[in-house]
Amino acid sequence: MSKYGKLLALIVIGVLAIAVLGVAGCSTPAATPAKTTEKPAVDLKLVTSGQLTVGSDTAFPPFESMNGNVAEGFDVDLMGAIAKEMGVAKVVFKTEIFDTLIPTLKAGGKFDVIASGMTIKADRAKEIDFSTPYFDSNQSLVMKTGGVYKVPADMASKKVGVQSGTTGESWATENLVPAGATLVPFKDAVSAFTALQAGNVDAVVNDLPVSADVIKDPAKGLSMIAQIPTGEQYGFAVSKDNSALLKAVNDGLSKVRASGEYDTIFKKWFGDLPK
Ligand code: ARG
C-alpha cells in the first residue's frame, strides 16, 4: 500500500469508528420509554381535580362491595391500577343504586366514571361512552339447593328475583315471563339473594360470576340451576362530553393488561386466570 493509500485507510477507519461510537452514544436515551410524551393528568376534566370519582352499586361482590366504608373488589382494584397509569393519585368510590348510575353520570357533577360490572349495551351506549371491554360475563339462575328444574319450562308460576335495570332483568323479561314466571325487582343483587334464602322468591337471575360467589358458601343453601350464555362484556363508562377521560381510561386499561397487573387482580378475586 502506498503512503497515501495507508493514510486514506486510516481516515476511513477513523470515520467508521466515530460513526459507530456516535450511534452507540445515541442509542441509550432513545431506548428509554418516551414518558414525557404522555398526557399529564392535570389535563383531565374531573369532578374533583386530582381524584377519580367513581360511581358504583357497591353490593355486587366480587366486583364491588363495601368493607366498612372502604370499597373493595375486582372493579375497585382494576380502576385503581388504571388511575395510577393515568397519573391520578386518588380514587374515591361513591355508592349509587345501579338503576340511577347512567342518568347521574349524564347529569354530571357527581362522579367521573362508572365501574359497576356494567354490561356494554347498544341502548346504554347511546347515553354514555363505554371503555373497551374489561370482563366477559353471562347470566345464571339460582334456586334453593335440592330441586331439579328446566329453564325456562319449569319457571311457570315461579317468582323470580332480579336486580332493577340490569341485563338479568331484561333476559328474564324476554325468556321467563313468556314461560309464566312473575318477576320481582330488587334494588341490588344482595337483596335479591337474601329474599331467595328467606323464601320470598323462588329463583334469582343474576350475572354468573356474582352468583358463583354467592353459592360458594354452602350455609346459604343455594345452587346454580342454570348457566345462561348471554356473552356479555363489562365496560367502564364516562360522559359523552369527556372523550379525553375515555382515552385515558382505555390507555390505562391496555397498560394494566400489558404489564400483567390485570391478571394479578383477576387471580386475586377469581382465583384463576381469565379463560
Ligand atoms: N352486568 C349487569 C348489567 O350491566 C348487572 C350489573 C350490576 N352491577 C352492580 N354493581 N350491581 O346490567
Q: Closest ligand 1 atom to the C-alpha of 170?
A: 12
pLDDT of residue 41: 52
pLDDT for 40 beyond 70: no
pTM of model > 0.75: yes
pLDDT of residue 15: 43
Report CA 111 to chain centroid distance, whole Å.
16
Same domain, 168 and 97: no
Indicate the number of domains in the chain: 2
- What's the 261 CA to ligand 1 centre distance in angstroms? 23
Same domain, 125 and 59: yes
Same domain, 120 and 142: no
DSSP 3-state assignment of 50? coil
Q: Which of 2-11, 100-109, 178-187 has the lowest mean pLDDT?
A: 2-11
Same domain, 80 and 206: no
pLDDT for 16 beyond 70: no
Same domain, 130 and 259: yes
Give the closest residue to 159 by CA, choosing from 207, 208, 192, 188.
192
pLDDT of residue 267: 97
**Domain presence at residue 9:** no
Same domain, 194 and 119: no
Same domain, 221 and 257: no
- Residues near ligand 1 with C-beta < 6 Å? 57, 60, 64, 98, 116-119, 163, 166-167, 188-189, 207
pLDDT of residue 3: 47
Same domain, 145 and 226: yes
C-beta separation of 120 from 131 below 8 A? no
Q: What is the pLDDT of residues 146-176, one digit of tens each?
A: 999 999 999 999 999 999 999 999 999 999 9
Domain range for 162: 138-232
**Helices 243-258 and 74-86 sit at what angle, rounded to 10 degrees?**
110
Q: What is the mean pLDDT of residues 88-115?
A: 97
Same domain, 194 and 255: no
pLDDT of residue 6: 52
Same domain, 224 and 114: no
Q: What is the mean pLDDT of residues 202-219?
A: 97
pLDDT of residue 220: 97
Q: Closest ligand 1 atom to the C-alpha of 169?
A: 12
